[in-house]
Amino acid sequence: MQKTEWNNELLRELKSGEYPKYPNEVMLKVIFGGYLSNRPSPNSNWKVLDVGCAMGSNLVPFADIGCDVYGIDVHLDIASNAKKIMQQRGYEDIDFREGTNRNIPFPDNYFDLITSINTLHYEKNEEDIMSALKEFQRVLKPGGGLYICTVGPKHKIYNLSKPIGGHKNIIQDFGFRTGEQFFFFDNERYLNHYISYYFDSVETGQVTEKLMTIDLDFLISFAVKPFR
């Protein structure tokens, strides 16, 4: 259901003009700021993939410095609309494709950086999470970076969900996501645990905000594909 429902939601946002037009602020701070021990140095030689690209906004800062940028999302219509939107914004050569966490339609060792912003928790169970992380590793070059942002334990959607064991949760009273099964990491320790199966130099953090009546909370991580 997620594929169709997400396409319908993004079409609604597109028609209303309500879609995000700016890149994720925390991602900017982590990738371009000085918060990492193993700090990346974004440059024009990079190939950058945004998994769950929606309207493409998270690719803007990388395109602006000359990177080759790419995006995938679960429905071909989403990818097509992202391309049109970014062309209207002056970005002509972005490669948008249909794809998922566990099925990225690019060859091995292709990207210097992958960003996965609020998409990984849509996997339903531990097996699918591990498959997604393995797929991220496959398409990254050795030494390439992975940035992940995912729901944290203080987030409204987390606290409205019904836990059913093994990090699995049924979403309740949260729009079109209601009834879906998500995988939540619960804390930084678990996020680090899973990412460390396939990546080195794993660094994690947590970002918590209260915007009026809405609690937002995200676990974040940056990790590096090993050379071995």
Rounded CA separation 49/72 (Å): 8
If one compares 214 and 198, the residue with the highest pLDDT of the two is 198
Mean pLDDT, range 76-101, rounded to an integer: 93
- The overall average pLDDT reported for the chain is 93
Per residue in 208-226, pLDDT tens?
999 999 999 999 999 999 9
pLDDT of residue 40: 84
- For the chain, give the percent of residues with pLDDT over 70: 93
Q: What domains lie within the chain, and their CATH numbers? A: 2-224 (3.40.50.150)
pLDDT of residue 1: 47
pLDDT of residue 9: 66
Per residue in 162-185, pLDDT tens?
999 999 999 999 888 899 999 999
Per residue in 31-84, pLDDT tens?
999 899 987 889 999 999 999 999 899 999 999 999 999 999 998 998 999 999
pLDDT of residue 6: 58
Question: Per the structure block, which two tokens stand in for 132?
Answer: 């997604």
Mean pLDDT, range 14-29, rounded to an integer: 82
Rounded CA separation 228/94 (Å): 31
Q: Could you write out the three-class secondary structure of the chain?
A: CHHHHHHHHHHHHHHHCCCCCCCCHHHHHHHHCCCCCCCCCCCCCCEEEEECCCCCHHHHHHHHCCCEEEEEECCHHHHHHHHHHHHHCCCCCCEEEECECCECCCCCCCEEEEEEECCHHHCCCHHHHHHHHHHHHHHEEEEEEEEEEEECCCCHHHHHCEEEECCEEECCCCHHHCCCEEECCCCHHHHHHHHCCCCEEEEEEEEEEEECCEEEEEEEEEEECCCC
Residue 161 has pLDDT above 90, yes or no: yes
